[in-house]
Amino acid sequence: MPDIAFANGVFLPLAEATVSVEDRGYQFGDGVYELLRVYGGVPLRPLDHLARLERSARALGIALPFDTARWTSVITEAVDRSNYPEAKVYIQVTRGVAPRDHTYSATLVPAVVITVRAMTPPAESLYTDGTDIVTVPDLRWSRCDIKSLNLLANVLAKQQARNAGAFEAVFVRDGFVLEGATSNVMTVHRGSLVTPPEGPLLLSGVTRHLTLQLAREAGISVAERSLTEADLYTAAEVLLTGTTIEILPVGRINGRCIGEGFPGPITKELMARFRKLHA
């Protein structure tokens, strides 16, 4: 089987999988999700993703129906059934199925959907020539640390980027840069890797964490501090991190070229180290 879904407790071809129209994920975006990258048939950092899934679900009062061992076995079986060496695994847990009502009963049974699809990495030219990003006002709520299904502001921002010929939209709130619509943002200032600190206004990215760890291992100093939009323009390097993009250099912000030469040495070093993680 190629594209696989696990839904209502069974595996089946993705095209045959269905969910109830009264699933609260469908009607309210009432749920959480994760996206894992599979390299050579092996998911990268599954336990980090599962820990974040647990944190997101707990924050919404959703009790995950599986423990780590069960998640691991279902994910492994889904990946094995798909037989894709390079894949992305999407995990979604909603509060459950019930007649539409904003309030909910504590007895709802959370609904799990997992899909496995082949992964086509971004074009190599994005890594050599750098991506374009645009800055957008952050219209999201104030719990962006929860990986919830409510992605409307992200969807609109990402589409705005695409319409402008850019790869990513970066959210700016009160003058501070927070993260991309689907990625975290870092800069290099005076040889240090800088990224906004974790908190309720951005997602604690698995790739963000790995990148900071790789930087420390490489002897690069790391600072988790607020960045203004102006800091993006004066940075020697700007990079995005995320499960589907790994570490992606930014070449232009709102059409303005940034940095001194491209891709910068620190981004290059981190990209190479990241690739070794799954080589």
What does the binding site for ligand PDD look like in residue numbers (CB under 6 A)?
Answer: 35, 154, 179, 182-184, 203, 205-208, 241-244
Q: Which residues contact 67 (CB under 8 A, 6 or more apart)?
A: none
Residues 227 and 231: their CA atoms lie apart, in Å, by: 6
Give the residues across from 38 on adjacent strands.
43, 87
Cβ distance to ligand PDD smaller for residue 30 or 179: 179
The verdict on whether 147 is a catalytic residue reads yes
Sign of the alpha-carbon dihedral angle for 38, 195, 190, 259: positive
Which one from 147, 158, 268, 276 is the annotated catalytic residue?
147
Q: Which residues contact 279 (CB under 8 A, 6 or more apart)?
A: none
3-state secondary structure (DSSP) of residue 42: strand
For the bound state, the minimum distance from the C-beta of residue 245 to ligand PDD, rounded and expressed in Å, comes to 8
Q: What does DSSP say about strands 87-94 and 31-39: parallel, antiparallel, or unpaired?
A: antiparallel
Residues 187 and 250: their CA atoms lie apart, in Å, by: 10
Cβ distance to ligand PDD smaller for residue 108 or 222: 222
Cβ distance to ligand PDD smaller for residue 98 or 242: 242
For 238, the token pair is 């700007």
Cβ distance to ligand PDD smaller for residue 97 or 134: 134
Q: Which residues contact 120 (CB under 8 A, 6 or more apart)?
A: 86
Q: Which residues are catalytic?
A: 147
